[in-house]
Amino acid sequence: MGRVTLADVAAACRVSRMTVSRVVRGIRGVNPATAARVEEAIHRLGYHPDPLLSALAAYRSDKARRVQAMGATGATAASLAFIDCDGTAYSRNLYEAALAEAGRLGYHLEFHPLPGEPKEQARLSRRLDYCGIRGILLGPAREERHVESFRMETFAAVSLSALSHSPALDSVSSDYFNDLYLAARTLREVGAARIGLCLRRELERRTGHQWLGAYLAFCADFRAAPRVRIVPEPLPGLAGWLEKNGIDGLLTVHPEARALRPRLRVILLREPVHREGEERGAFIRTPPEQLAQEGVGLLHQRLIRRQYGLPRWPRRISIRGEICGDF
Q: State the maximum Cα–Cα separation within the chain, in Å, rounded to a whole number.
A: 87
| 0.75 exceeded by pTM | no
89-146 per-position pLDDT tens digit: 888 999 999 999 999 888 999 999 988 888 888 899 989 988 889 999 998 876 666 7
Under 8 Å between Cβ of 137 and 162: no
Asked if CATH classification 3.30.360.10 holds for the domain at 70-174+289-319, the reply, yes or no, is no
pLDDT at 58 over 70: no
pLDDT at 70 over 50: no
Segment holding 52, helix H or strand E: helix 51-73
Under 8 Å between Cβ of 241 and 219: no
Of residues 229, 184, 239, the one with CA closest to residue 203:
229
For strand 316-319 and strand 156-160, is the pairing parallel, antiparallel, or unpaired? Answer: unpaired
CA distance 283 to 297: 27
> Within 13 Å, how many C-alpha atoms sit on residue 93's CB side?
11
C-alpha angle with apex 249: 245 to 250, nearest 5 degrees?
Answer: 85
Domains 1-49 and 176-285 share a fold: no
C-alpha angle with apex 69: 63 to 70, nearest 5 degrees?
Answer: 90
CA distance 183 to 265: 11
Instruction: Name every residue whose Cβ is closer than 8 Å to that of residue 51 and which is 6 or more positions away in sequence.
Output: none
Instruction: Name every residue whose Cβ is closer than 8 Å to that of residue 305 and which is 6 or more positions away in sequence.
Output: 55, 58
Determine the topology of domain 176-285 in CATH: Rossmann fold (3.40.50)
pLDDT > 90 fraction of the chain, expressed in percent and rounded: 46
pLDDT at 179 over 50: yes
| Average pLDDT of the segment spanning 17-45 | 80
72-89 per-position pLDDT tens digit: 333 343 489 999 988 888
CATH number of the domain located at residue range(s) 1-49 in this protein: 1.10.260.40
CA distance 304 to 49: 15
> Bridge-partner residues for 200, per DSSP?
231
Instruction: Read off the pLDDT band of 245 (50, 70, 90).
Output: very high
Task: Spell out the domain ranges in the chain.
Answer: 1-49, 70-174+289-319, 176-285
